Amino acid sequence: MSPEIKASTEKKIKELMSRYPKKQAAILPVLHLVQRELGYISEDGEKWVADLLGINPVKVREVVTFYSMLSRKPLGKYHIQICSNLTCSLMGAESLIDYVSEKLGIKPGETSEDGKFTLTTVECLGACDQAPSMMINTDYYGNMDKKKIDKILKELDK
């Protein structure tokens, strides 16, 4: 069964693939577009991408499971990713993870029942100078503390 990819997204994907000398090289941006469309990369999505790129589905699975920004499970509307790497940990990331977890009633790796929030811990976001750092979907947030988290979550929960 093929995933429900809109014709407009499929067109975007094909345009994207045409920019690469080998269509297989477009795997990451193609997977990003599929995830944006479906909310995650399903097994059907993996097979669809593999067919499109002319590669074995195992290759697609390898990429999907390697990159933490790609998910094999449906994500909430807001995907909160808190860095738990060294610099952020030294700057208090663990207590922020616990705080968000308690506030939303979900543990890292879980999605709230209303499908609004998914919380995950991730490796270095490349923003160590603003530790502790987090991302919500594609937006970066740095120098995080509980007060900032309260403000952001309040905005998102409207």
> Which CB atom, from 64 or from 135, has the smaller least distance to ligand FES?
135
β pairing state of 134-136 and 78-83 = antiparallel
The two three-digit tokens of residue 90, written as one number:
């030294």
**Chain positions contacting ligand FES, by CB under 6 A:** 83, 85-88, 124-125, 127-128, 131, 133
Residue (of 26, 149, 119, 132) closest to 86 by Cα position:
132
Cβ-count burial 59-96 (b if 16+ within 10 Å, e if not): ebbebbeeeeebbeeebbebbbbbbbbebbeebebeeb
Contact at 8 Å (CB) between 89 and 131? no
The two three-digit tokens of residue 112, written as one number:
């709230």
Give the nearest distance from C-beta 125 to ligand FES in angstroms: 4
